[in-house]
Amino acid sequence: MSLEQILKKEYLNENLQAKNKNEALDELADIVIKGPLKLNKLQVYDALLQREKLGSTGIGDGVAIPHGKIGNLEKVIVAFGRSKNGVAFDSIDGKPVHIFFLLLAPENSTSQHLKTLAKICRMLKVDNFRKRLMAAESNDDLYEIIIEEDKEHPNP
């Protein structure tokens, strides 16, 4: 599945204001509840928080991939947030997080959830991709950069 199918332009925020993990999760939840799926913010936030209790989704190099499962969701969705200042997120390397990919999946979709998570991880290993995301000037630019990079990483 391509990210173009599950990442919508309205699911991007180029200017997160959060200073800590809880604020970042709250802002990321805001992104998806404003979309067309009419998700419950508390349910989204709680799913993300429960996953963080298992271990930080801050994977290093200024990147975090918070994710969770939602009962009433029909398909995987992805959202994106960027913090120019960085967020204290308990990352494995101890550094602030600037790039967030949020992944929400239906409770029963382990396969698609893991494939999407793996794809995003592969994309984020590309140093130039992270630099381009940080340099983008608008949500439209961010969307184009993400979709372009996604096409370079087809599903295995």
pLDDT, tens only, 123-147: 999 999 999 999 999 999 999 999 9
Would you state the pLDDT for residue 154? 72
The active-site residue, picked from 67, 98, 113, 153, is: 67
Q: Model confidence over 39-72: pLDDT tens digits?
A: 899 999 999 999 999 999 999 999 999 999 998 8
Average pLDDT over the chain, rounded to an integer:
93
Would you state the pLDDT for residue 155? 65
Whether 67 sits among the annotated catalytic residues: the reply is: yes
Pairwise CA distance, residues 45 & 47, whole Å:
6
Instruction: Judge contact between 115 and 82, C-beta under 8 A.
Output: no
Place domain 7-152 in its CATH homologous superfamily.
Mannitol-specific EII; Chain A (3.40.930.10)
Q: pTM above 0.85?
A: yes
| Tokens describing residue 150 | 């996604």
Give one DSSP letter per residue of 127-140, joined into a string. Answer: HHHHHHHHH--SHH
Say if residue 110's pLDDT is above 90: no
Residue count of the chain: 156
